Amino acid sequence: MSPSATSRAQAARGPAGQLRTRAEEAASVLPPLLVQAQQLAGAVLLGEHGRRRSGVGDDFWQYRPAAQGDSRRMIDHRRSARGDLQYVREREWQIAQTVHLWVDQGQSMRFSSDRNLPQKVTRARLMGLAMAVLMVRGGERVGLTGGRLPPRRGNMQILRMAEHFTSDEDMTPYAPPEHRALIPHARALFLSDFLGPFEELEVALSKAADRGLRGVLMQVLDPTEEAFPFAGRTRFEGPGDGTIHETLKASALRDRYLDRLAERRDALERLCRAAGWTFGIHHTGDSAQAGLLWLYHALERRT
Amino acid sequence: MTMIAGIGFASPWLLLGLIVLPILWLLLRAIPPAPKRQPFPAVSLLLGLKDDESLSDRTPWWLLLLRMLAVAAAIIGLSGPVLNPAQQEGGAGPLLIVMDASWAGAPAWELTRTHIEAELTEAGRAGRPVALLRLTAPEPLQFLAAGQWARQLPGLLPQPWVAAPEQVASASEMIAAVEGGFDTLWLSDGIAMAGRAELVATLAERGEIEVYETGAPVIGLLPATYEDGAIALSALRSSGGLAQEVTVQAVGPDPSGTERALASAGLRFDTNATRAEVQLALPMELRARISRFEVLDLRSAGAVSLTDDRLRRREVALISAASSDEGLALLSPLHYLRQALEPTAELLEGALSDLLPANPDVVVLADVARLAPDQEAALVDWVEEGGLLLRFAGARLAASDTARDAEEPLMPVRLRIGGRSIGGAMSWGEPKALAPFAEGSPFFGLDIPAEVTVSSQVMAQPDPELAARVIAELNDGTPLVTRKALGQGQVILFHVTANAEWSTLPLSGLFVEMLERLAVSSAGKPPSADALEGTTWTATEVLDGFGRLRDADALAGVPGPDLIAAPAGPALQPGLYTSGSRAYARNVLREGEEIAPAVWPNWVPVMRFEGAEERPLGGILLSLTLVLMALDVAAALLVSGLWSPARVAGLVLAGGLALSALPEGTQAQELSPVELTSELTLAYVRTGDAEVDRTAQAGLQGLSNVLALRTSVEPAPPYGVDLERDELAFFPFLYWPVTGNQPMPSSEAYGRLNAYLRTGGMILFDTRDADLALTGATSPAARRLQQLALPLDIPPLEPMPPDHVLTRAFYLLQDFPGRHPRGEIWVEAAPPDAEQVEGLPFRNLNDGVTPVVIGGNDWAAAWAVDAENVPLYPVGRGFSGERQRELSRRFGINLLMHVLTGNYKSDQVHVPALLDRLGQ
């Protein structure tokens, strides 16, 4: 296919298609994500899609030669009788997990300090969708929090999620985390800058913890929000309706701003620790790949 | 025009605008510069933070001051300020402007003219009729409107003389011819003038007199003289006073004919002295070239001293047939000539064949009858080119058969056999005296002393042309001195000896004067008026008032005595005069003259020119406003934080660094010959296309690395050659990437390239287009290569034959790919008689290295590596591509081996034959 044909095809698929293409590109280099089933007792749903590894399940997976340590009852005699070796019949591991995604689409996320940097929301959507792709490929059920997109399997879900991510209709300055319609004992991934009111996050996280959800909070920040490289008389304008702070000497504010940022981060980490969640930071100046890898490991971590 | 503090204002009411300044101050102070707007989502974290320092949100005072200054400058600038505004002066009725207009006023002529212009403008405003009178060139007075004179003003120039009494008298007459009263404005040059007092009295009768002078002393240069081996220069000034130093330059043509200062000397007037002197010792050659002396930075005819041939000493070659005999010095034919010429001329003695190449001005042959034919021919040539041959008779000449039957080129007349002797012991009659010199003779005007007698002489054959050739004769009519022109020169024969044997002429002063008149010797001192009696001089070049030489168009001739004695005037303008072959420089000042300051009656007001002139200040103030406003923009940006001081300083620093780095960048490649030759250096021709040059540099670097790795050749880092500047001889090998728009090298560069090719250098031309121009199609680079190579000395070429030594100089190759695989390569054609050697795969090819290799495979790109030795450009695809790169490297090695070892590998083919002959 010639390049022009490709771009035509992309254009035909619209922004959702493009976002999905990019997310799949970003996800293509990772092995399928295997979300660990933590609460085997509660939340295990046996799906028809195997995990492509041996384990508990109905479907035949493979015969393997019996090794030392295998109990004798595991030996499959029908297969072993056809030769001299003894074989063990293994079944495919068939466990599906539910993962809830929440990507902050508020106005505070639509910010980039430099033309060469992506907006925070763009980066957060990309990483969230990449995770979704990985998880769907691994057979998990993925959905958005809040019941707008209940967890489902399959590539259609990725498309729906991508479509959902392309709408910029959320005009809330600082969007509160969506904590409705959470499936108990599932996993959750919250991507936001967490610069909004802290109480709402506390409520959301405590509610999630009550339901036995474990998950990851990832704070996506712009480099200027981390470094505060301003000086002189400056009027800082917040998102939306205009929370405004004017200063005569911005450079004098720097240290106190950084203190407050660190404070906020401490609070977030404390909250995560209390709820059994993992907290991570990502800057739009860094590569999405690094953030995705971190997310992959964080979601796979057995806690 | 209103005056405030010495400054006039065209529209002073505009100054009222200054009142608004305090109001503006208050307004601006209350309006601080706008803050910078910064979208920032994390503002939620900032809420509630207070500024530590209570910074004022007022505009800083210095910014206010800057703005106030800008506004004030604009207001004042618009009100039209003028420094030193012209003052109105009263006066009515006609105005006469009298100018000395002599050379002394030339240095300040611009000032004088400006002053007259101002006076004319003023008179024009007042409606006064004006007349102008130049005393050096008086013309009848015409009272005209000032505007008419203003138009003629540029044509009024100072004259190179001072008004003589008769000119002053004629000026008085012209003033007398005018009726009615008038005021007088006298612009004086400040030097004395005969009849000034009378003229002042005449003018005072008609009205008021006002005199303007510059007040600076007038400086003049006296003619230079030659004394005791040095040039003596003296300068005069009109009044004593403070010590003063002037520089005098000797100006003349340099060997290429351009006028330039040949030497300079400082002249110092001591306090109260009016005369300064200096000695200037110069080599003769330099001295002879001096055409004038002038005081530096002083444009005046008086500050120029022209030189004639008095400073020049002629070279006279003295040749006599008689061998010098110490015992008989007084009888030597040359003794009296030596005595007469020594003070004023350089004497050369020796054989004619040795002296002629020195090209003397004069050759004197004393009693030489015959010359060798080749010497004679050389002498004739020399005379025809302007030489002066002076011959003296003598016993040998009388006895020889020189010019007996036919006229000889080097003899003005035919001679009779034997000559004659008169008044001797064995003859009748008295020794003959000289007849007075006829008019038209160069000697005309010389006094003939009575004691000069001639007792023997050679006689001229009567001839139709004889009369015209005689320039001096005895009182019985027999020729004594004859002359004829030969080419541009002349041949002169004294029919007597040069010693006192035949006549008493050499003993007398007349002899010296005659030699001077013949320009055999040049006088060391200025001739006296008497000595020039009877001569007429015509001006060739004359000075104008500013001391510039110009052609004397059709000035009448000047009698000799006047030239010396008369003061300069319209009839005798200072300049260069010639008479026959003699030249005389008449200067403004003569030796013995003084420059006296002008003396005015007490009641005449003498004023100085005003130094300060009207000067509008509006433009300066308005531009100051603009500058201040620009500063204000920068300062406002600085205050509002859009510009940080560090950033500005960084920009300034970066700019400075970039500027200082620029020359460094161009010099970075400069290497000394020692550095270039201590190691083998591969070189490429810089094409001017930065990309191509970088590739060539990287390519040669890659080739150098490969060479160092695989062979014993370890080249230094490659060098980019600028064909216009660099010496090529240091490089055995030049890589020349050809671009389509490369400039043609200059002809000097081609000269160097051809020398390079002839002395064993090799150029690899790479058109880099083998992928495009495979099938005989042409490309811009190939066309450019044809143009570039046209002036080069390139032998016939052929596509590389399979048995060329390049195919086996190091590696065995049959293919020479670069980035493009299969372009054809052209090398010097094998000689037509190359033969296949029996039993060998190669022909017996020529010696030597092919001077050019032409191809288009873009080898540099295939060789190019970066600093980590990683190839820069992809070649081919996959493994076959790497193989192609390897082959291109091998080609590079083969090429360098061919350059460095020549046909060494070609010789190897003879090894079997050699071994065979050795019986092995």
Is the pLDDT assigned to residue B722 strictly greater than 60? yes
CA distance, residue B49 to nearest chain A CA (Å): 8
* Maximal C-alpha separation, chain B: 146
Name which of B45, B52, B642 to mutate to probe chain A: the one with the most chain A Cβ atoms within 10 A of its Cβ.
B45
**DSSP label at A47?**
-
CA distance B719 to B696: 10
Q: Which residue, B399, B394, B420, is CA-closest to B319?
A: B394
Instruction: Please report the pLDDT score of residue A57 as a whole number.
Output: 59
Q: Closest partner residue to B41 among A108, A246, A249, by Cβ? A: A108
CA distance, residue A230 to nearest chain B CA (Å): 9
Is the pLDDT assigned to residue B421 strictly greater than 50? yes
Instruction: Please report the pLDDT score of residue A49 as a whole number.
Output: 43
**Helix, strand, coil share (%) of chain B residues, nearest 5:** 35, 20, 45
Is B406 or B331 the better-scoring residue by pLDDT?
B406
CA distance B243 to B241: 7
Question: Under a CB-based contact definition with an 8 Å cutoff, are residues A254 and A225 in contact?
Answer: no
Question: Under a CB-based contact definition with an 8 Å cutoff, are residues A177 and A200 in contact?
Answer: yes
Beta-carbon separation of B49 and A253 below 8 A: yes
Sign, CA dihedral A245-A247-A251-A257, equals: negative
Is the pLDDT assigned to residue A269 strictly greater than 90? yes
What is the band of B200 on the pLDDT scale with cuts at 50, 70, 90?
A: confident
Is the pLDDT assigned to residue A51 strictly greater than 60? no
Residues B632-651, mean pLDDT to the nearest whole number: 68
The rounded Cα B797 to chain-centroid distance in angstroms is 49
Instruction: Please report the pLDDT score of residue A55 as a whole number.
Output: 63
Query: How many residues belong to chain A?
Result: 303
**DSSP label at A212?**
T
Instruction: Please report the pLDDT score of residue A279 as a whole number.
Output: 92
The rounded Cα B610 to chain-centroid distance in angstroms is 37
Beta-carbon separation of A243 and B33 below 8 A: no
* Residue A18 CB burial class (10 angstroms; 0-12, 13-18, ≥19): middle
Instruction: Please report the pLDDT score of residue B661 as a whole number.
Output: 47
Beta-carbon separation of B47 and A245 below 8 A: yes
Instruction: Please report the pLDDT score of residue A54 as a whole number.
Output: 65
Name which of B36, B37, B44 to mutate to probe chain A: the one with the most chain A Cβ atoms within 10 A of its Cβ.
B44
Name which of A200, A219, A235 to mutate to probe chain B: the one with the most chain B Cβ atoms within 10 A of its Cβ.
A235
Instruction: Please report the pLDDT score of residue B646 as a whole number.
Output: 66
Domains (range + CATH), chain A: 54-92 (no CATH), 95-301 (3.40.50.410)
Instruction: Please report the pLDDT score of residue B75 as a whole number.
Output: 86
Residues of B whose CB is below 8 A from A232 = 36, 639-642, 644
B82-108 per-residue burial string, b: 16 or more CB within 10 A, e: under 16: beebeeeeeeeebbbbbbbbbbbbbbb
The single-letter code of the amino acid at B142 is: Q
Query: How distant, in Å, are the alpha carbons of A101, A173, B53 from that of A242?
Result: 29, 9, 25
CA distance A244 to A242: 6
Residues of A whose CB is below 8 A from B45 = 195, 257, 260-261, 264
Query: How many residues belong to chain B?
Result: 920
Sign, CA dihedral A293-A296-A297-A298, equals: positive
Residues of A whose CB is below 8 A from B37 = 234-235, 237
Instruction: Please report the pLDDT score of residue B755 as a whole number.
Output: 84
ipTM over 0.85: no
Strand partners, B720: B684
B827-862 per-residue burial string, b: 16 or more CB within 10 A, e: under 16: bbebeeeeeeeeeeebbbbbeebbbbbbbbbbbbbb
What is the band of A3 on the pLDDT scale with cuts at 50, 70, 90?
A: very low
Q: Which residue, B168, B113, B107, is CA-closest to B136?
A: B168
Q: Which two tokens stand for residue B707?
A: 């060479």
Tell the residue number behind the tokens 């200059």, with chain if given.
B746
pLDDT for B674-702, tens place per residue? 777 788 888 999 888 888 999 999 999 99
The single-letter code of the amino acid at B20 is: V
Q: Which two tokens stand for residue B190?
A: 């400040």
Beta-carbon separation of A234 and B51 below 8 A: no
Beta-carbon separation of B41 and A238 below 8 A: yes
Instruction: Please report the pLDDT score of residue B889 as a whole number.
Output: 92
Query: How distant, in Å, are the alpha carbons of A100, B754, B774 from that of A37?
Result: 14, 84, 66
Beta-carbon separation of B37 and A237 below 8 A: yes
Query: How distant, in Å, are the alpha carbons of B347, B634, B635 from that of B71?
Result: 82, 17, 16
